[in-house]
Structure 1
């Protein structure tokens, strides 16, 4: 019996010794500063062991194409600057479990044949890039074939002037389970670009003043977009060739131009667009070939067109939305089969409510004759808000001929929808 206990004690002692020895190994911190023994981030990463931390002191480091091929953590103290001086990438990450935090990264090379980025990843998992400042860059974060990552609280500022010489702030390709949280992106080509990305979350970001799209994604299914602000982008937001999309509490505003939208939907199916605000856009939502979408409790305020359906849009539901002072609430091209409008508030509705249940007793037809005319002859838009338009809209309201009988809200709300979600 004593031998058994002695053996157990030996085993426990050995395990404790190994545990503390391993902890000492993974707790190693390598300091980088101009006056330290290690004066470059590249050198620190090269000598680091898996699990080490590289602590970069406040200074400016002229470095580029720093290869990370092992799990390490790189932390900046007071946002030290790594300046690529117009040469290639800054970090190229090829290992799992890499964290880069608290750095200022600038002057990535601009190229017409290569997508140089401040931080580039390929085929990695479990990465965290947070609290970084990216300035004067080509691409910000370029994430390829990577999974289970977090991009959080980064500031990305470019100086995009032309599309061919500018890149995207956050660019994901063939990736999944990525969280893009609380970032600010401005003056890039596209603020956030996703292609073949699934099961990811885009939340709390501000994307503004970008040359093309604040958000642009294609072939990306089962993703969530919440609490983002997309403002003053050249073409607004474009969502294409995707399904199972959930968009909530986003703000789309001040996206003006002949080819600019708050939200462009191109062949989107089975989506929920809930509780968003579309304000002062040329077109709030422009839907083309998009089916089985629920638009619920959104607010459309002071847009040119609130919602424009271009065709092949079936099985959609517009429920309890607020349409407030838009030039045109609904526009459509082609058939609107199977679409439901119910309990929306329309600021132009002039019906009555005799039983005081806050539901209008007279159905509302949101498509005006002038909207139909503009679809046929776009140049007539110059007549907007003229007396002539008021007369033809009133005549169509009294005796509908051109506007569809099956496109009406049978239960228009008498007061704006208040959303407590």
Structure 2
């Protein structure tokens, strides 16, 4: 669709990039760029931002990027960037992050995706705040046990906690990483058992008393109401 390599200080605005055989948009070694108000739909590889820094991604829509190994947005070795007010709907994986650090993701909508965010263990010092996660098969997943990222004030439709003081913040923390997502990362064939009753029981037990999932993979202050997105 759109390919920018070693192109700095660019502004990509209000494009529709769809049905491409590769990426709808691809930044490579491109710094200090902004893309906003674009629609990336039904592309065979989604959007990729790689080996770049200081990239702003605002008010874009990532829709229907679906298939084996397809992402709505791939972030590879991205640093010092902001992802805000975007909509990710019906993607195999809405965002896949690998080797990326100091990226702020806030006020984004993740809905009807296979995975909301796949966050590799080599991603550090990222902040995920005030996002909405609704009707995703897995809201988040990770490839390791070390977690050095912040989850705060996100809205999770899978949260079953309570709010006794009525401040719209859940009174108990939420562990968004399900046991089943951890097991499926280690052995993809286990997806054949998805939605089995005993798997749901194990998953609920793991949320109450984490044993196999990282204990610090947690949103201490989950929002009871949806956050403002667009």
TM-score, normalised to structure 2's length? Answer: 0.97
**1 CA distance for matches of 2:54 and 2:145?**
24
- Tell me the residue number matched to 1:237: 47
Of 200, 203, 223, which residue of structure 2 is paired with 1:413? Answer: 223
* Alignment of 1:265 onto 2:57: no
How many angstroms apart in 2 are the aligned matches of 1:412 and 1:309?
Answer: 19
Higher relative contact order (CA 8 A, sep 6+): 2
Distance 2:39 2:95 in 1: 15
Per the alignment, residue 42 of structure 1 pairs with: none
Question: Is residue 313–residue 336 contact of structure 1 (8 Å, CA) maintained in 2?
Answer: no
Q: After the TM superposition, list the runs of 4 or more consecutive aligned residues in structure 1 that deviate by more than 4 angstroms.
A: none
The question of whether the paired residues in 2 share the 8 Å contact of 1:312 and 1:335 is answered with: no
Q: Which whole-Å deviations, capped at 9, do the CAs of 1:346-394 have from their partners, x for residues lacking one?
A: 0000000001010000000000100110011011112222213211101
**Secondary structure at the residue paired with 2:66?**
coil
The TM-score with structure 1 as length reference comes to 0.54
Q: Is the 8 A contact 1:321 1:344 kept in 2?
A: yes
Indicate the residue corresponding to 1:344 in structure 2: 154
Offset of residue 335 of structure 1: 4.5
Deviation track 1:149-206 (CA, whole Å, cap 9, x = no partner) reads xxxxxxxxxxxxxxxxxxxxxxxxxxxxxxxxxxxxxxxxxx1000000001001000
What are the superposed Cα offsets for residues 293-336 of structure 1, whole Å, 9 maximum, x if unpaired?
A: 00000000000000001231000000000001100001001254
1:322 aligns with 2:118: no
Structure 2 residue 206 is the aligned partner of structure 1 residue 396: yes
1:223 counterpart = 2:33:
yes
Distance (whole Å) between structure 1 residues aligned to residue 146 and residue 223 of structure 2: 22
The 8 Å contact of residues 145 and 213 in structure 2, kept in 1 or not, is answered as no
For residues 359 and 401 of structure 1, what CA distance do their matches in structure 2 show? 25
Structure 1 partner of 2:197 = 387
- 1: distance between equivalents of 2:12 and 2:18? 15
**Other structure's SS at 2:6 match:** strand
Size of the alignment, in residue pairs? 230
Please give the per-residue CA displacement for 1:193-227, whole angstroms capped at 9, x wherever unaligned. 00000001001000001111101110000000100
Distance 1:396 1:338 in 2: 21
Aligned counterpart in structure 2 of residue 311 of structure 1, from 121, 137, 141:
121
Give runs of aligned pairs for residues 182-201 of structure 1, distance below 5 A. 191-201=1-11
> CA separation in 1, counterparts of 2:25 and 2:187?
31
Summarize deviations over 1:90-120 as a string: whole Å, max 9, x none: xxxxxxxxxxxxxxxxxxxxxxxxxxxxxxx
SS in 2 for 1:241: strand
Give the alignment's Cα RMSD to 1 decimal.
1.0
Once residues 234 and 358 of structure 1 are traced to their aligned partners in structure 2, the CA distance between those partners, rounded to angstroms, is 39
Equivalent of 2:179, from 356, 369, 373? 369
